Structure formats: structure tokens, C-alpha cells
Structure 1
Amino acid sequence: MSGLDSRLLAASADAETGQQNFKIFRIYQYYRLLLSVILGLSYQFRSPSSPLGSIAPELFVKVLVFYGLTSLLAVLSAPLQASSSAQTRGIFYFGTLILDILLLTLLSYACSGVSSGLAHLLIIPVATGSIVFGTRLGIFLASVGSIAAIYSESYLNFVSPNMESYYVQAGLLGMTLFSISLSLQYLGFRIRQKEQVNRKQAASIQSLQQINQQVIERMHTGIVVVSRSGYIINSNDSARKLSLNPADSEHDAAAMTQLPPPLQEQLDAWLADPGQALPTFQMHAGAPELLASFTTLEDSSDAANILIFLEDYSQLSSRAQHLKLMSLGRLTASIAHEIRNPLGAISHACQLLAESSGIQPQDRRLLDIINTHSGRVNTIIENILAHSRPRQQAAELIDLPHWLEQFTASFCNSYSEAVDCVLHCEDQPLTLYFNPNQLERLLTNLCENAVRYSSQHAGRPHVGIHASRPDPALGPLVDVVDLGPGVPEAELDQIFEPFFTTDNQGTGLGLFMCREICEANLARIHHCRNHDGQSCFRIQFAHPEGRIH
């Protein structure tokens, strides 16, 4: 029995196949109930010449009632069958089919055997078993049906020798049962084979879709699929983050159905002239600059959907900035070779002349000017080289409050006189991705400027550093505050240009290099007044989750 159980279990092991077999057998159970009702009504209103129950009416009635009751119980127990194990269902199916073959054979016997035509009802349970169980059990059911039909006909001729025998018809019925069983088994095999191939293909397609979805979701490029009217059909996580307004929640961005107005304007402009070069834009004030590109999805209709690619322009600028610094490094290497040697010769000659006893005081003043400006030119070259050499250290995740505490302590200790250094960090997580060496150079330059201008205008060296994060959609904000007069409005557009300076002793490269460092690390710097009206250089760092590192 264990071998039979294993085959019954295998027939219903696969979840999908088991579900299909359950549906097939449920239809078969309704068929059994309907057949018992039809046979009962036909027997109740039979004509005198009807073969129903002609040999053994009492047996016909008892078997038919039992057949009807088992059919009704099978229909009512369908929920219990659905919750049972695969092996239990397989045994139940097999037992029901064997019982049906025996009961239908008894009904056929009570109606004068094969000649009544009732024996042909054996085709249905044999066909059902062949579909549900497959080869071996299907052949077994066909064998049981054939043997039952032939034995019934033999027994009928034995008890009623005067009746005409129908052995040939019984044999043909057995051949029919085997033919139908084999045909349905072959068709079922082909169908299951095709379904298996389809399931594999569906699984492969689903796997590819999941991979594509993961790739699209993890892309830093925002991707949006929209209709021509601007209705959002689909978008990835980067697009939702780029279109998120600080006043909105992430849930609002995910539920967004219409393009934001700035992006809608870009779409309208592209639809009006697909060949034009669109400018960069911002989703909202303080957001990074974006560059949108559009393409029409392959579709033969005029209402084809549009695919939008959103690039964070600050990241593109960062890559361009990196290439520019590499080019500047090669240029300054050439400058160092071509200018430093003559500059060294000039400085050396100036020193030799200064040691001469025949130099007049007015000439010595000229030598001092030459020596001073030679040193200034050398400082300019040193600054350019320091900021243009390739940095091997990559960006790191920095805990800003802890890092600023160490920086301010080190910066104040670098001065011989006491520096009034005020550090304030808001009580909230403040992290950023930045090159630590470049961050130190950036803040050192800004703090040195703050100390210098505070000393000149307030009479004491002072620098204030305030770290906060007022916008959760962006990274931390750092203000470097001084007591100086600030930058005149007319010079705001020039202070970050190279070699622009208002200090006779300055090189004009400090703020230029600060801007270069910020752009290389996806940050932005500008001059403003803080809430107290003090001069302030404000650095807006990139969001740590959106930073490419």
C-alpha cells in the first residue's frame, strides 16, 4: 500500500496541480449528484419497456440511493477536502473512483447488463482518474472498469442463461476504457509538460522583472513614466526623492499622480519642441538643480507614454569638477616646472643683492618689493598645487558634531593668542559624506578669514560655527560666522572667482578653492546674513543617503 500512497501523494504534491485536481474532482462530484438525481427521476417515471431495474429493481434502488448519498456527502465535504493534506485528498479521490466503478457496475447489472447502455457510464470515472492520476493509476482504473463490466455480463448470463450474451460489447467497452485512459493520459502529459514550461518561463520572466525593478529602484537617475497629459504611471525611488517637497511626506510623493509644476513645464516645453536643449531647474527652493531628458516609449499610437530621466545636476557637476581638477593638476605641474625655477632664481638674486654693502636705501626698498611679491607668487602656486593634486582619500561618513569638536580644538590651538571660538550643534543626527581632508581645508580657510576680519573690525579674534539641519530632505547646514562687515552686495557674484580679493595680502584663491571643494563633494556654499545680521558663509551639504560614494 505504501507504493500506492506514494503515487497518490505524487499526483497531488505540486500545489498548483493539486488545486487543479481539486477543481476537476469537485466538478466530478457535482456530476455524480446530478447523475443520481437523473437516474432516480428516470426510474420513478419509467415506462414499462424501460430497462431501468428490469433484472433487480430492489438492488437498483438500494445502489442508486447509496450512490446519491455518497455524492451528496462528497459535495458537502468539499471545504474539508480543501483543507486536508495532498495525500489524504489523493486517497479520497482514488477511493471515490473505485467505489463509483463498482456502484455503476451494479446499476448496469440491475438493468440487464451492457445491453442497457448504463455500463458506458464507466467511461466518466475512468477518464477522471486518468486526468487526475496519470499513467499507472489511470490504467488500473480502466482495468477495474473492464473487468467489472465483463464479470457483470458473465454473472448475468450465469444467473439468467436464457438471456442473450453481450461479451463482445463488454470487450469493446473495455477497449474503449483503455483507449480513453491512454488518450487522456497522453493529452494530460502534454498539457502538464506545457504548463511546466510555461511556469518556468513565467518564473524566469518574474525573476527578470524583479531584477529590473531592483536595478531601476537603486538607480541614482530618477525615472518617471507619464502620459502626455502629465499623469504619472510609474516612477522609481530616486525620482520620488528628487520630486519630494520638504513640506510633503514620503507617502505623499509615492501617492503623487500628477507631475510637479516645474517638471510639467519642462514636459510642455519638450512637447512643443522635442529638439531643444532644456535648461536645468529646481523642484522647489533649496532643492538641487535637476536636468530632465525625455523620450517617447515605443508605441504605434499617437498617445504613447513618455519616459523621463531626471539627473541630479550637482552630481554631474561633481564629476566635471573632478575632471577639471585633474586637468588643473596637470597644468599646475607644468607651471611649477616653468615658473618656479625662474622665480627661485629671481628670489636668490634678490637675496644676494640685499647682502651687498653698496646698495642704497631706496634700492633696498625695491629689493624688498621684489622679494615680497616673489613670495606671493610662490604662495599662489603652492595653493593651486595643494587643491589640484588628485586626492586618494575617498568620502567618508562623518559624525559632524564630534568632528567639529575636534576641529575647533585643533584650530584654536594653532594660534598663539586666544581665539574666541563658539561652536553650536543642534541636538539631532548630523551626518554627511565628505572627504575629511578637504572638509578640514574648507573650514580652516573659512575660519581663518573669520578670525582675520573679526580682528580687523571688532578688535578680537572670533569665529562662530553653527551646525543644524532645518530641511530633512537635505543634508546638514554649517554656518561660519565672523564679526566683520560682510561682503558688499556688488561683490557677491565675484567673491568665489579665482584671484578676486579685497585684501592686499590675499591671493584671491581661498574662497575659489572653497567653492571647488564643495562642488567636488556635492555641497553648495554662499555668503549671507544670519538671523542676528552677522556676516556668514553657509555650507549646504548633500543628503547622506543621496550622496554617491
Structure 2
Amino acid sequence: MVVAADYSQKNAVMRVYSCYRLVLANLLFFSFFITEQDNLIGSERPGLFVLVSFAYLGYSLLALCKHLLSRREPSDNILFFDFFIDVGAIMLMAYCSGSGESGLPLLLIVSISAASMTLPARLCLSIASLSTITTLADAGAHSLNAGTDTRQFVVAGMTGIAYFSTALIIRYLSGRITSAQNLAERRRYDLETLSEINQSIVQRMQTGIVLMSRSGRIKLLNAAAAELLNIRYQHAPRQLFAPPQLIELAMRGRSASEVIQLNSTGLELHINLTHLDHNSEDECLLYIENISKINQRAQNLKLASLGRFSASIAHEIRNPLAAISHAAQLLKENENLDVDDRRFLDIIHNNSVRMDGIIKNILNMSRGNPPRPQRFSLVEHLDQFCQEWHCEQRDKTTLTVSGREFSGQVNVDPHQLNQILSNLTENGVRHAIAAHGSAEIQFVISVGSATGGPCVDVIDSGPGINEADHDRIFEPFFTTQTQGNGLGLYLCRELCLANQIAISYQRGTSKESRFRLQFAHPERGTFAE
């Protein structure tokens, strides 16, 4: 089984073995002087033993420094040379100590084990063969010189068998360990890659994902959830807590599916909550969806139904209405009419115009033309709108744009956005001129607090809307004027829903009227706040 050890394993094994080699060289060198009277080692050739042990000590120190300081992968040739030096030095010291009686040849088992873990099979078996040959040669040399017992050859042969057995067993175990390590490394890489892919998918989902404890501490959330919950987005949230409505939902201790409205944003959110551990129910996983998309689909169905209805009756209503208006105009040309009759004719004409306006607005909504969103600069679009907008009181009206430092874009239908801005501007101009004789309209651009989505405040200098009517101004046919048809703001809301824009009304700090348009993030179909 041929498995190449990787760099980390080679380096780790050689560092440990170099420390072992240095400790062994010190013990052999200093043990000679400590046990010189007992003749344990180096007894036959003490001079040569001292020379070899000292040289081996110096080489061990250099080899340790080399393996500790080197950042490069050690080559097989260098490692083979290291183990070759070990075999030669130990066997020379064994020869000086009386061959196998000193037990020094057994120390080569450690060297052979280290070689089996770091060298290819061919080279590690070469180390085992070299160790066996030198052991047999040492036994032969002592037999010729001192006439020792031939049983020394049997001991040398058994030692050689131990060398080869050690090399094969350690080689096999090392291969298994290396294979397991490589497999674990591949699995770790696959898991990390899969985790990154999952994280990327979760972050790009339009559905908000929140993992939190029952106490409300957020452990994980994606960008869509941070946007919907008006939480400053972080990849690794620390000490972030969910809104109180979500904490109350999690504290009930069971899975739930509810629609809630956040106080901070005013958005209606559909929450699906499930507990990850059904035993402890400590961690909750929440799926958050903005039901504006559901409202948008319902709105499309409603507009389609209204379109079929209005198309069927528009012809039947507009023809008699045109006849009534035309007859009133012809009758008004009669010079013999008195003041009361002319006043009645004015009432007929004004109400005919009003009814015609109602029919036109209903037809505009009923056509249900789907928006054709485009990405464009909001500041440049507002500047162009202010330049092109005209009305009868143009000389009494001032339009300004502030917040020009915002350089972001929006992704909506520019024509429908112009219709929304035009309706809001005409309303503001009409009420402001009626109250003060002049009108000032401000378009204030700001950045959403959660993810940087754009927001536009349309502020007029009019007297504002009564607080009791705030919840009704977007209802169809609701108006506070006798000549109004109550469809202007309703049409604005329908166009905003079609373009994923949240429209709301509020009074400013100076009691001025303020219509806020909260645009969706240009990269996702969710509201910016």
C-alpha cells in the first residue's frame, strides 16, 4: 500500500524524531563517562566510541535545528540520509560496545519506524535492509576477531526479522492513518464548501431567516430578515435581540404561523416559527415573509375584476354623461336664463366633470398594466420631475429636492412613479394654496436604517389632514373636499403596491403633511425598512 505522507505529517514526525535523536545522542555520549568503570557501552573500543558519539551528538543538534526552522517540505533524499546516518552511527557504537550484548542495535527499531512513516515503501525497506546487513556484518566481525559464539548470527538474524516486521507493520498502519486523515480532510473541505454555499443561499434568500433563543437573543439572521425586522445587519450577530412580538411568539413554546405588524416599520409580516429541539424548545427557527407580495397578487386579481367591470359599464355611463354635459353647455348659451338657472347649469357641468374624472381614474386602475421596472438614479429622476411638472398655479409653487448625497438607485416603473409623485404634488399644492396662497413642496431623500434602501418624504406646506382621518385617506372615494372624487391617494397606494413601495402618511415636527415612500431594496423584492 503506497500512500505518500503529506507535508504536515512528515514535518511533525521528523520534529518529534529529531528531539528523540538528540536525547538519545546525549544519553549515549554522557553515559559512557558515567558508566566507564562498569564497561556497559564502549568497552571494546572506547576511543572510537567517544569520537562517534560526539559526532552523532553534533549531527543530532544540527538536524533538530534544520527540521524546526525549515518551512519547506523535506525531500525523500534528505530524510533517507538522516536515517542512514542513524544506522551507521548506532551500529558503529554497537560495534565498539561488543555487538548485541549492549542492546544498541535494538534502537534502530525506532529509526525504522520513523522511516516507515515518512519515506516511500522502497526507501523505508532499504533502511530496514541496511540495518539488517550492518547487524549481520557486526556479528561476523566479532566472530572473526574475538571468536564469539555463532549464536550471535541467530540473534542478528532475529533482529533483522524484527527490523523488516517493524517496517512493514508501521508502514501499513501509517498508510491507514494517512488515508483516514486525507479522507477526513476531504470531508472537512466538502463540509466547509457546503456550509459556505448554504450561507450564501440563506443570505440571498428573499425570505427572512432568523435563528434565536426563546429569550430573543439572535444567533443567526440573513440580510432579508435584518431588512424586514429593521435590525442592523451583521454576518456574526453579537448581543442582538429580536423585536418583542417575536419574543412573545417564541415564549409560547410551540410552533406557530401568524401575521404580525412591527411597530418600528409598520410592515405586516407572516411568521412561521418552529423549534429545532422538540425536547428543550430552546432554539427557534423563524421564516419571515413580507405579505406585501401576497397583497400584490390579490391587488392584481382585484384590478383585473375591476377592469372587467369598469370596461363593461364605462361605455354605458360615459355616453349619457357626455350627452348631459354637452346639453348643459348648449343650454348655458341661452341668454334668457336667469341667475338660478345658470347656477343649476354650473352644478350639472361641475358634477359631470367630476363623474368623468372618476371614470377616468377607475379605468386607469382597471387596465392593470403591469409595472415595467427600471433601475435609475432617484436624485436625477426627482430633479427631472421638478423641471417637467406643470400646473395652473406654477408661479405660486416651489419644488425642491434635498438629500442629494444619496447616490443609490431604485428599481421601479418610472412612469408609474411619476404618476404617484404627480398625485401627491397636486394634492399638496391644492391644499397649500387654498390655505396660504402659495405652495412649497419638498422631496427629502434619506437612507433606510436597516440595509440602505432609499426613502422619499413628500412634504407640503398645507394645513395637513385631521388625525381622525389618517387611517382613511387611502380608502377609495374618501375625500374631505366637496369637489374631490377620493381616488387620487387610493390610486397612489395601488401603484405603490404594484411597484413594491410602502406609502404612509404622518405629520412632521412642524405639523406639516408628510407622505413617505419607502422603496424596496433594488436587489431584492422586499421593503427597505
Letter in 2 for 1:259: F
How far residue 370 of structure 1 moved from its aligned partner, in angstroms, is: 7.9
Counterpart Cα distance in 1 of 2:92 and 2:464 = 110
Q: Which residues of 2 match residues 268-417 of structure 1 at below 5 A?
A: 268-272=248-252, 274=254, 278=258, 280-282=260-262, 284=264, 288=267, 290-298=269-277, 300=279, 302=280, 304-311=282-289, 313=290, 316-317=291-292, 319-343=293-317, 346-347=320-321, 376-377=354-355, 379-412=357-390, 415=392
Residue 455 of structure 2 corresponds to residue 476 of structure 1:
yes
Assess if the C-alpha contact under 8 Å between 1:525 and 1:539 holds in 2.
yes
Residue 73 of structure 2 corresponds to residue 86 of structure 1:
yes
Aligned to 1:142: 128
Assess if the C-alpha contact under 8 Å between 2:275 and 2:283 holds in 1.
yes
Letter in 1 for 2:157: G
TM normalised by structure 1 equals: 0.80
Assess if the C-alpha contact under 8 Å between 1:463 and 1:481 holds in 2.
yes
Q: Percent identity?
A: 27
Residues 222-259 of structure 1: CA deviation (Å, up to 9, x unaligned)? 433333333333333444455556xxx767x9654252
Letter in 1 for 2:298: K
Aligned to 1:3: none
Select the residue among 435, 438, 444 that pairs with 1:467.
444
Q: Which residues of 2 match residues 130-529 of structure 1 at below 5 A?
A: 130-161=116-147, 164=150, 166-242=152-228, 256-260=238-242, 263-272=243-252, 274=254, 278=258, 280-282=260-262, 284=264, 288=267, 290-298=269-277, 300=279, 302=280, 304-311=282-289, 313=290, 316-317=291-292, 319-343=293-317, 346-347=320-321, 376-377=354-355, 379-412=357-390, 415=392, 418=395, 420-429=397-406, 431-433=408-410, 434-459=412-437, 462-469=439-446, 472-473=449-450, 475-483=454-462, 485-529=463-507
Assess if the C-alpha contact under 8 Å between 1:224 and 1:232 holds in 2.
yes
Assess if the C-alpha contact under 8 Å between 1:350 and 1:367 holds in 2.
no
Aligned to 2:55: 66
Q: 1:129 to 1:430 in 2, by over 3 A?
A: closer
Q: Which runs of 5+ in 2 are unaligned?
A: none
Letter in 1 for 2:164: F
How far residue 208 of structure 1 moved from its aligned partner, in angstroms, is: 0.6
How far residue 391 of structure 1 moved from its aligned partner, in angstroms, is: 3.9
Aligned residues: 517
Q: 1:512 to 1:430 in 2, by over 3 A?
A: farther
Assess if the C-alpha contact under 8 Å between 2:307 and 2:367 holds in 1.
no
How far residue 74 of structure 1 moved from its aligned partner, in angstroms, is: 3.0
Q: Which runs of 5+ in 1 are unaligned?
A: 1-6
Letter in 2 for 1:464: I
Assess if the C-alpha contact under 8 Å between 2:220 and 2:237 holds in 1.
no
SS of the equivalent of 2:251 reads helix
How far residue 52 of structure 1 moved from its aligned partner, in angstroms, is: 2.8
Q: 1:283 to 1:112 in 2, by over 3 A?
A: farther
Moved more, 61-70 or 32-41: 32-41
Aligned to 1:4: none
Residues 105-157 of structure 1: CA deviation (Å, up to 9, x unaligned)? 11222233245432222222122111111311111111211222222223333
Counterpart Cα distance in 1 of 2:22 and 2:227 = 61
Moved more, 67-76 or 132-141: 67-76
Counterpart Cα distance in 2 of 1:353 and 1:281 = 53
How far residue 188 of structure 1 moved from its aligned partner, in angstroms, is: 1.7
Assess if the C-alpha contact under 8 Å between 1:326 and 1:388 holds in 2.
no
Counterpart Cα distance in 2 of 1:519 and 1:125 = 78
Q: 1:526 to 1:162 in 2, by over 3 A?
A: closer
Assess if the C-alpha contact under 8 Å between 1:329 and 1:385 holds in 2.
no
SS of the equivalent of 1:86 reads coil
Residues 249-308 of structure 1: CA deviation (Å, up to 9, x unaligned)? 767x96542525xx2453234423636665524363x565555442211364x2632223
How far residue 470 of structure 1 moved from its aligned partner, in angstroms, is: 7.5
Q: 1:195 to 1:250 in 2, by over 3 A?
A: closer
Assess if the C-alpha contact under 8 Å between 1:131 and 1:184 holds in 2.
yes
Counterpart Cα distance in 2 of 1:459 and 1:190 = 92
Q: 1:192 to 1:530 in 2, by over 3 A?
A: closer
How far residue 339 of structure 1 moved from its aligned partner, in angstroms, is: 1.0
